[in-house]
Structure 1
Amino acid sequence: MKLLLNIKKENDDLGKQVNNLVKNTSTSTFLKYCLTILFFVGCLNINAQNSDFSKGKKYTLAEISVAGNTAFSEQTIITYSGLRKGKEITIPGEDIGNAIKKLWNSKLFSDIEVYVTKIEGNVAHLQIKLADLPQLNELKINGVKKGKKEGIINDNKLKKGTKVTENLITTTKNFLTKKYKKQGFLNTKVHINTIEVQDSIDAARVNMVLNIDKGEKVKIKDITFEGNTVLSDKKLRKSMKGTKKINRIRILKRSKFIDSAYQADLGHVVDAYKENGYRDARILSDSVIYNDDKTISLIIGVNEGEPYTFGDIKFIGNTVYTNDQLSRLLRIRKGDTYNGILLQKRIADDTKPDAVDITNQYQNNGYLFSSINPVEVSADNNIIDIEVRISEGKPAYFNTVSVVGNDKTNDHVIYRELRTRPGQLYSKANVVRTVRELGQLGFFDAQEISPNFNNPNPVEGTIDMEYSVKETGSSQIELQGGYGGGGFIGTLGLSFNNFSIKNIFNKEAYKPIPMGDGQKLSLRLQASRFFQTYSFSFSEPWLGGKRPVQFSTSLSHTKQFLFNPLTRNADKSRSFNITGITFGLAKRLSVPDDYFTLSQAISYQRYDLNNYNTGLFNFGDGFSNNLSYTFGLSRNNTSVDPIFPTGGSNFGITAKFSFPYSLVNGVDYKPLKEISDRINAIPRQLRTQEESEELANADQQRFSWLEFYKVKFSGEWYTEITKNLVLRPKIEFGFLGAYNNARGVIPFERFYLGGDGLGNFSLDGREVIQLRGYPNQSLTHLDETTGRASQDGSSIYNKFSLELRYPITLKASAKIYALGFIEGGSSYESFRDFNPFNINRSAGLGIRIFMPAFGLLGIDFGHGFDPLPGETVKHGWETHFIIGQQF
């Protein structure tokens, strides 16, 4: 900013002093001296057109003109300056100084000059000459990826038309430099150049070139400590979670220097001392040394202080719980090494909402307004006496409980899952459990569920509870096609996971389908030249609406046609039909706890073969009936998000069995079994026609009504190792048995191990067990007659799996996480061959993508370390595509 005063005076020395002050003083400082300068100028003869006016003389303003490069109208500038025609001002005086300040503070101009152009008696003419700040015309950013440029523009407000000031340039440089240094780019350099647009007529415009040179991330060569004798450098480095020195064999933690992580880790070093009794430990200094090999070394000076132990620990103010009860929760005794971090966690562990600590003990029993504060009352002789001061307050009760954000899901579907009710005693555990139950529904974004405490009233002992949810797509569509099994396979599947069957005849409820009652309805059609499969299923999670009893039913029909090798087409006169129906009930239990579910189901399948002779069964004409009862007991307490659990476990055991017909039908199956065993020992290609027919008749009698029992067990755990890094071990076991050894194990309901675990069009009730790194269904037991994996499946299997998962994004639109896995498993025909440690091993990497409209999708790259049954060379790599299921 300049105030142009053409100074003509007799005292040239004074004029030089004033001009030097204007020239050498910064803009912000000049404002402070503006009035002072005017005061000195007042003693001078100020000349614009060889006119003189004396010190402090009052003038009436006549014309006020505007000149210079500006896009603003003359009237706008004059009005904003506060000067107006006819106004009486003092020249020199405060009026012109204030006008200049107003114009400058508008932050619209880069240069402001005020001239006295004419003096006629007591009338003065002024001219305001100014130049607009240049506007940003074009911006070019060099040195970053295209996808990052938009963020830089938004963060620094570098949109086209923005006024370009020195402050804008300086703050942009500082922001970007600090941003990239925080990310580990310590050598970041930012340069900004502006170029005037020559064809600019109406307004000043500039093009900006933003050059960013991040350089390489700086790695930490070494971390050393000075002043430490109690804890070694190794232990102190271990306490630093995000700052690690170069270690070639470490995978999960990188050695890049991140300043924010480093500052946090300095606090972790102090915490390491506090956990070992050194409560006075502190950081004395920390230095960053730049090495010649472009790495850095960190030198941290510490003062360890002296060790302390716990003395007397007293509880003050407690009436609800006795001292002994609180001591058992605190689990710290007199004489223990002082550990301030542990003490705070035992009082209130902020890292675990369901932690076993004193605060939760109070809050889970209604004392929301309680406060517990440990106070050190004495530290004599390095023995610290603690008083745990407790203010219990009044028990709190829920006044109102509400839910907001459910646009599709009906209120009653949500409210029946709530563990907090109006008038009920407050319990933090019930709030945490409610959040889990709402997340497990699958209708809301589990990451966005928020319990909000409104209107807390410690005097009345009441609290209003509001659960905020965000609806997410809960229906899925499966539409795919592919080539397999000798022809094109098309699939259409619809799954409505928040269906409302009561509104199925209500036209107004179709938006696009009736939704909101939490029911599930699935329809699926899969067809090719060789098979057709139709299935329908429905479930109601709260049968009757008063108890969490789930009713489910499913109906399916499959027709498989035999391949004709002569015509290379389907022979529709030879078919295998399966029709099945299932009814099930599942009830949530309260004992041993309410994470348990008891399920029961009755199912019936009819297997009908019409001249369908293959190696799958020993008879080609006939039928089998499968009437079975399934009993299951499971416990699932996994954390909020069912797609990406971070804690808890999921166990399940099921027993499926048929009626023991051989005990009551009076049939002697021993001769039939002998016929089957004798002929099965003969390779298929060497059997006579009579032997094949004899075997078919024997097996038709043995398996007209299937007699079996099947037991399965699975268990998985989720443990968050560090923030969002989740370890999931899992074990599985299955066994298919027979009541009557003479009747034998049925050829249906068997286990097929290996591959991606997708069953496709399984015709015989088989269960396909995933084991990545090997071809699909390739790890069944060895067939002694062929020397390869049996085509008939296995009656026993076991599997062990270990996965490490890390989320890329957990947004509602798409949840994506990467995983690494190691697993192994094997299958057997009988217990005499069973060896749970003789397994096929594999390892690999994968990724999962969950989109509400399409379900779970993924791909795995697995490496099999062992040969397939009957082979001698390890299998190697396999690629698996995962559709619609989660492992």
Structure 2
Amino acid sequence: MEKLANNLTKGIDNLIPVYLRIFLSATFLLLSGTGFAQETTFEDGKEYILGGLTVTGLQSYNEQTVKAYTGLRVGQPIKVPGDEISAVIKKLWGLELFSNVEMYYTKIEGNQIYLELHILERPTLNNVTVYGIKKRKVEDIINDTDLKKGKKITESLIANTKNYLQNKYKKQGYLNAKVNIATTADTSGTNVQNMVVNVNKGDKVKIRKITFEGNEQLTNKRLRKALKNTKKKKLFRFWKKSKFIAADFDEDLSNLVDTYAERGYRDARVLSDTFVKVDEHNIDLIIKVEEGNKYYFGNIDFVGNSVYTDRQLSQILGIKKGDTYNGVLLKERVADDSKPDAVDLTNLYQNNGYLFSTINPVEVSAVNDTIDFEIRIIEGKETYLDHVTVKGNDKTNDHVIFRELRTRPGQKYSKENIVRTIRELGQLGFFDAEQIVPDIQNPNPNEGTVDIEYSLVESGSSQIELQGGFGGGGFIGTLGLSFSNFSLKNIFNGEAYKPVPMGDGQTFALRLQASRTFRVYSLNFSEPWLGGKKPVRFNLSLSRTQQFATGYNSNGRLDVQKERGFSITGVSAGLAKRVQWPDDFFTISHAASYQLYDFNDYNSGLFNFGNGSSNSLSYTLGISRSSQGPSRIFPMSGSNFELTAKFTPPYSLFSSKDYKQLKEDINSTTERLYELQDLDRNTEEELEFQQLGNDLESMEEERFKLLEYYKIKFKGDWYTTLVDKLVLRTNAEFGFLGAYNHDIGDVPFERFYVGGDGLGNFTLDGRDVIQLRGYQNQSLTPYITNAITGRLQQDGGTIYNKFSMELRYPLTLKPSASIYALSFLEAGNAFNNFNEYNPFELKRSAGVGLRIFMPAFGLLGIDFGYGFDSDARPGSTGPSGWQTHFIIGQQF
């Protein structure tokens, strides 16, 4: 009888809802225990006193725990069959911990009934093994599907896991992906099982052919171009894959309709899209369209506008009567969601305080092929900012952030100012530019107020440079510390050292580099808001460089002679102020600097004299405009240009010294030295050569005792987002070093050295090192013959120009590490003087590279460049060829 009842229960399971099944199961089972089921009829349950409850079938759960969960208590009245029994069974099923739940009664004594609850526990998941995918992706799969140890294995868990994985890989183009899941008992525990997931992704299904039906006005080529992410297989196409991805295809069908709408066919639609399986690896797509008629814009009337005139709104809209209907353009001119700073009607209102304005274009008539529109505007109330707050700045002090905000309490709401604030905060470098989020809170259309909260995520703003290597005859060590969010006022506050005082937005950098042959020390400090009220940047830098003379002793070992050498001691101070005209992206800077060049029996051929000193006192005026953003690490829009002019006083104008005669003496001495260089000199000629060399050094030292020159430089960078995050950077540079007095000529310092990686970590003479990849470092710099040594040496160019284009694409822009790949085209050259200058005589190169920015170490990178032309080195012929460049700490 019990077996019969169980069979009946299982039959009913497939026919009736769960709640009814539970009730009838309990009824059958209770009746089967009497032995007289055939004489029992279904009627209202009889009320008993619960005399006892036992739980059987348990493997891992405690019996008392299960009893407590049922809510049944010995001694309580209970109706059998009745709602209490049904509720207990339903409650236990709802836990999804058991694969079977049954209730029996074991005996009846008078008005007392004894029940038995029999349950079958679901197995517990122990280990999961995944086959068919890379090991490094297994953990992600387990996390995504929640296949964690201890999880109860249910039919829904297995089904959901299988569906998730198949859909996951189908979205990636694996339309034939199959997933099989099996479980096996694990004897290491009680009622535990292991799961094996077999993933067979198969090959990616590619599109062999795309066919259009019903198109007469637009060609197949034009429609295929509209499918931006769905492409058919084509030889040599590598920038767009031909795999079929359903989500991309759905988006492309919308693009297809938009393509028609842009050309006047507003009724165009896709009637059907079908893919035909060619084989396991290829499909054909068939897209059937209905084009409809071509339409034109008719009258466009503005309704509800009082702040702006119809003429002002028409100028922004930019659509005239008679123009071909373009639904996409109309939508963009009303509200372009793709650009936060777009020129459209919505931004016109929102940039001037009307946050609650709404603008809707409505078709009012369509006669023949002409459509009339009304642009219906609800302007709303002018909106003002009530509260402006920031959160997430754990290190940076509030005043550093608030002084950069262009949205302040009491101001009119302006979307343009919010966008600009995001750019300014990103440019600080203290926060992750990708995660700066303005949250519009508490909008009150009636009062015309709104709150803004900026959510920030701190990023590392300090860098350490620690390098060691061998070169120049010995070990070279470098230690650099840069703190770009420094706090000078807390320098004596021990509690503020974490590890240094931080939070006030100042920059402090210290760099030490030394070897047996040279030493370099530099210290820089910058305060971006001098006085704390206006954006006036103050800069102070101190530096000292020492280079020692070297030679080789009788044992062939390097001999460093520290009593002979060359040094530069320099100090500079500057102020830079952000101005409001022509716009507030402009900055005007002023700097004064002094350098002492001191020679002590140091004849390296790099300079024209080996004893004495030169003094350089200069003033630099700079005009710059920086609108690049949103991140300084990976700008995606805007531009950055800088024009600087560096001047020294025209000392010769006030001097009684005859520089013309000095020039003639130098020229005649140089000519005689060249003559003697070509001779097999006798003793007398050797003495003359040495004396003339000393005389030339003395005259050169006198000539350049006080350096006078002017130096003009221009550099411009433009950033344009082409598609997604693919950015085009274009660059142009120019530099010229001139002299006031042609009798003195160009100074031997401050020259331009072009070629290579552009790193100028160890420069002795104020030179500008210009990057031009694909060539060896400074190899495009002109050479001259030294009159004293007779050797060819790089004299440095007095004029250069350079042009470059880079395509950049980010691999990740996370705060911990920003990585982007690039390809480049470059061209440039350096010249001895303006007479030799030819802007079209350029050295060309192309290549690819990678950049990695980590907050603690700055910018690291590598470039592989191919130089198409020969460099300036003597005897160099043919192309420079492939060159590898390592980038360390270079500017962005």
Interval containing the TM-score (normalised by the shorter chain): over 0.9
1:237 alignment counterpart: 224
Q: Deviations over 1:300-335 (max 9, x none)?
A: 111111111111111000001111110111010111
Which residue of 882, 887, 890 maps to 1:885? 890
- The correspondence of residues 136-151 of structure 1 with structure 2, limited to 5 A, is 136-151=125-140
CA distance in structure 2 between the aligned counterparts of 1:791 and 1:753, rounded to whole angstroms: 11
Instruction: Tell me the secondary structure at the aligned position of residue 534 of structure 2.
Output: coil
CA distance in structure 2 between the aligned counterparts of 1:102 and 1:411, rounded to whole angstroms: 54
Q: Deviations over 1:674-717 (max 9, x none)?
A: 44445556299658223322321221121111111111111111
2:142 alignment counterpart: 153
Shift of 1:240: 1.7
Gap regions ≥5 residues in structure 2 = 680-688
**CA separation of 1:86 and 1:502: change in aligned 2, threshold 3 A:** closer
When the two chains are superposed, the root-mean-square deviation of aligned CA atoms in Å is: 2.3
Q: Is the 8 A contact 2:782 2:795 kept in 1?
A: no
- Which shifted more, 610-619 or 558-567? 558-567
Shift of 1:549: 1.2
1:742 alignment counterpart: 743
Q: Is the 8 A contact 1:49 1:117 kept in 2?
A: no
2:393 alignment counterpart: 406
CA distance in structure 2 between the aligned counterparts of 1:678 and 1:221, rounded to whole angstroms: 79
CA distance in structure 2 between the aligned counterparts of 1:393 and 1:515, rounded to whole angstroms: 45
- The correspondence of residues 253-652 of structure 1 with structure 2, limited to 5 A, is 253-292=240-279, 294-566=281-553, 567-652=557-642
Q: TM-score if structure 2 supplies the norm length?
A: 0.94
1:12 alignment counterpart: none
Find out whether 1:795 has 2:798 as its counterpart. Answer: yes
Which residue of 104, 108, 117 maps to 1:128? 117
CA distance in structure 2 between the aligned counterparts of 1:821 and 1:842, rounded to whole angstroms: 8
Instruction: Tell me the secondary structure at the aligned position of residue 292 of structure 1.
Output: coil
- The correspondence of residues 674-689 of structure 1 with structure 2, limited to 5 A, is 674-678=664-668, 680=670, 682=674, 686=678, 688-689=689-690
What amino acid is the match of 2:422?
V
CA distance in structure 2 between the aligned counterparts of 1:720 and 1:27, rounded to whole angstroms: 61
Shift of 1:517: 1.6
Q: Is the 8 A contact 1:142 1:212 kept in 2?
A: yes
2:685 alignment counterpart: none
CA distance in structure 2 between the aligned counterparts of 1:833 and 1:296, rounded to whole angstroms: 62
1:820 alignment counterpart: 823
Instruction: Tell me the secondary structure at the aligned position of residue 368 of structure 2.
Output: helix
Instruction: Tell me the secondary structure at the aligned position of residue 599 of structure 1.
Output: strand
**CA separation of 1:299 and 1:679: change in aligned 2, threshold 3 A:** farther
CA distance in structure 2 between the aligned counterparts of 1:587 and 1:809, rounded to whole angstroms: 34
Instruction: Tell me the secondary structure at the aligned position of residue 228 of structure 1.
Output: coil
- The correspondence of residues 41-56 of structure 1 with structure 2, limited to 5 A, is 41=28, 46-47=32-33, 54-55=40-41, 56=43
- Which shifted more, 604-613 or 870-879? 870-879
Q: Deviations over 1:261-297 (max 9, x none)?
A: 1111110000101111111111111112222371222
2:682 alignment counterpart: none
Shift of 1:561: 0.1
Find out whether 1:708 has 2:698 as its counterpart. Answer: no
**CA separation of 1:51 and 1:422: change in aligned 2, threshold 3 A:** closer
Instruction: Tell me the secondary structure at the aligned position of residue 647 of structure 2.
Output: strand
Find out whether 1:109 has 2:102 as its counterpart. Answer: no
Shift of 1:30: 5.0
**CA separation of 1:466 and 1:96: change in aligned 2, threshold 3 A:** closer
Which residue of 637, 640, 645 maps to 1:655? 645
CA distance in structure 2 between the aligned counterparts of 1:815 and 1:390, rounded to whole angstroms: 43
Q: Is the 8 A contact 1:543 1:549 kept in 2?
A: yes
CA distance in structure 2 between the aligned counterparts of 1:20 and 1:245, rounded to whole angstroms: 58
Find out whether 1:182 has 2:182 as its counterpart. Answer: no
**CA separation of 1:117 and 1:37: change in aligned 2, threshold 3 A:** closer
CA distance in structure 1 between the aligned counterparts of 2:206 and 2:692, rounded to whole angstroms: 76
Q: Is the 8 A contact 1:525 1:535 kept in 2?
A: yes
1:874 alignment counterpart: 879
Shift of 1:782: 4.5
Q: TM-score if structure 1 supplies the norm length?
A: 0.94
Q: Deviations over 1:644-683 (max 9, x none)?
A: 1100001111111211122221222233334444555629
Find out whether 1:71 has 2:60 as its counterpart. Answer: yes
Instruction: Tell me the secondary structure at the aligned position of residue 344 of structure 1.
Output: helix
What amino acid is the match of 2:811?
I
2:849 alignment counterpart: 846
- Which shifted more, 717-726 or 428-437? 428-437
1:58 alignment counterpart: 46
What amino acid is the match of 1:871?
S
Q: Is the 8 A contact 2:384 2:410 kept in 1?
A: yes
CA distance in structure 2 between the aligned counterparts of 1:246 and 1:683, rounded to whole angstroms: 71
Q: Is the 8 A contact 1:529 1:569 kept in 2?
A: no
CA distance in structure 2 between the aligned counterparts of 1:396 and 1:19, rounded to whole angstroms: 73
Instruction: Tell me the secondary structure at the aligned position of residue 379 of structure 1.
Output: strand
CA distance in structure 2 between the aligned counterparts of 1:528 and 1:33, rounded to whole angstroms: 88
CA distance in structure 1 between the aligned counterparts of 2:464 and 2:111, rounded to whole angstroms: 87
Shift of 1:781: 2.0
Q: Is the 8 A contact 1:576 1:610 kept in 2?
A: yes
1:11 alignment counterpart: none
CA distance in structure 2 between the aligned counterparts of 1:546 and 1:428, rounded to whole angstroms: 25
**CA separation of 1:88 and 1:507: change in aligned 2, threshold 3 A:** closer
What amino acid is the match of 2:440?
F
**CA separation of 1:293 and 1:216: change in aligned 2, threshold 3 A:** closer
Q: Is the 8 A contact 1:780 1:789 kept in 2?
A: no
Q: Deviations over 1:464-522 (max 9, x none)?
A: 12222222221211111111222111111111111121222222322222222211111
Find out whether 1:732 has 2:733 as its counterpart. Answer: yes
Q: Deviations over 1:151-178 (max 9, x none)?
A: 1111111110000001100000001111
Q: Is the 8 A contact 1:45 1:52 kept in 2?
A: no
CA distance in structure 2 between the aligned counterparts of 1:599 and 1:21, rounded to whole angstroms: 90
Shift of 1:565: 2.1
**CA separation of 1:788 and 1:861: change in aligned 2, threshold 3 A:** farther
1:206 alignment counterpart: 193
Which residue of 813, 824, 839 maps to 1:836? 839
Shift of 1:429: 1.1
Instruction: Tell me the secondary structure at the aligned position of residue 342 of structure 1.
Output: helix
Q: Is the 8 A contact 1:727 1:804 kept in 2?
A: yes
**CA separation of 1:761 and 1:651: change in aligned 2, threshold 3 A:** same
CA distance in structure 2 between the aligned counterparts of 1:35 and 1:208, rounded to whole angstroms: 34
Gap regions ≥5 residues in structure 1 = 8-14
Q: Deviations over 1:509-538 (max 9, x none)?
A: 222222222111111111100011111111
Q: Is the 8 A contact 2:606 2:793 kept in 1?
A: no
The sequence identity of aligned pairs, in percent, is 58
What amino acid is the match of 1:713?
F
**CA separation of 1:420 and 1:97: change in aligned 2, threshold 3 A:** closer
Q: Is the 8 A contact 2:726 2:807 kept in 1?
A: yes
Q: Is the 8 A contact 2:460 2:855 kept in 1?
A: yes
Q: Is the 8 A contact 2:605 2:786 kept in 1?
A: no
- Count of residue pairs brought into register by the alignment: 871
Q: Is the 8 A contact 2:721 2:728 kept in 1?
A: yes
Q: Is the 8 A contact 1:601 1:629 kept in 2?
A: yes
Instruction: Tell me the secondary structure at the aligned position of residue 615 of structure 1.
Output: coil
CA distance in structure 2 between the aligned counterparts of 1:615 and 1:527, rounded to whole angstroms: 22
